Structure 1
Amino acid sequence: MYQYKAKIIDVYDGDTVTAVVDLGFLHFQEMKLRLYGINTPELKGEDRDRGLVVRDILRNLILDKEVMIHSYKDKQGKYGRYLATIFLDGLNINNWLVDEGHAVVYMP
């Protein structure tokens, strides 16, 4: 597992964000992250309305915030995203989304 400080700069949907990740020694990298272990409603198709609600909830929670990310692989998945768990002030955001009914557990 890898741990990094990051700032969330975009929330695409309830389980995909873009962050500027602090890699250390003044090196920063913009990365797309897929929230590990969860799935949220999509922005396209019949779940669009719910997907927009969940996206906005996540935006209000973490957009433009400093977070900690735990990444479980050092390579990108099939859509070019790294799998990550996001923590805001110690709160596991991935688990919170599931606990609040905004996401379901998903293990590919």
Structure 2
Amino acid sequence: MAWTPAFAGDLAGTVVGVVDGDTIDVLADGRSVRVRLAEIDAPERRQAFGTKARQALADLTFHRAVAVVDEGRDRYGRTIGTVTVDGRNINLALVAAGLAWAYTRYVVHPEYVTAQDAARAAKRGLWADPHPTPPWDFRRPAGAR
């Protein structure tokens, strides 16, 4: 879990809102920026562990100074980024705690898969469930599953 971005971040500010387990609002330069955590996907609110994932993200970031490495925009206009607090990669911490999946479709850094494998082996967080449903499957319409 040692990987951290190579530079301090493209955005620095204070977390003023936690939307769900993988999305925060950062107040930077007097404006609010919605940030979707890169390379991970947390359970949806209505899904098992959704509330725990959101609470864990709040515990790690709310009202704290963060640095965000800007990795582009998603289709909803959110900034996609790697979030750090005091040098700690929060995205990776959530996966290691078993409160988010490594979003394999978008994973660039293998540390996310390694952290997920360790959390699964230890049955941490959502991995305590023998058959956890990934959020991308949960979001898919019932007829398409």
Q: Please state which band the TM-score falls in when normalised by the shorter chain.
A: 0.7 to 0.9
Structure 1 length as normaliser, TM-score?
0.82
Q: Supply the RMSD in Å over aligned alpha carbons.
A: 1.6
Match of 1:19 in 2: 26
Taking the aligned partners of 1:37 and 1:11, their CA distance within structure 2 comes to 18
Provide structure 1 residue ranges, at least 5 long, that are not aligned to the other structure.
23-27
Q: Which has the larger radius of gyration?
A: 2
Structure 2 length as normaliser, TM-score?
0.63
Match of 2:49 in 1: 50
The total of aligned residue pairs comes to 98
Instruction: Spell out structure 1 runs of 4+ moving beyond 3 A.
Output: none
**Alpha-carbon offset, residue 61 of structure 1:** 1.3
Match of 1:30 in 2: 32
Greater strand share, structure number: 1
The structure whose RCO (Cα within 8 Å, separation 6+) is larger is 1
Taking the aligned partners of 1:96 and 1:60, their CA distance within structure 2 comes to 12
Greater helix share, structure number: 2
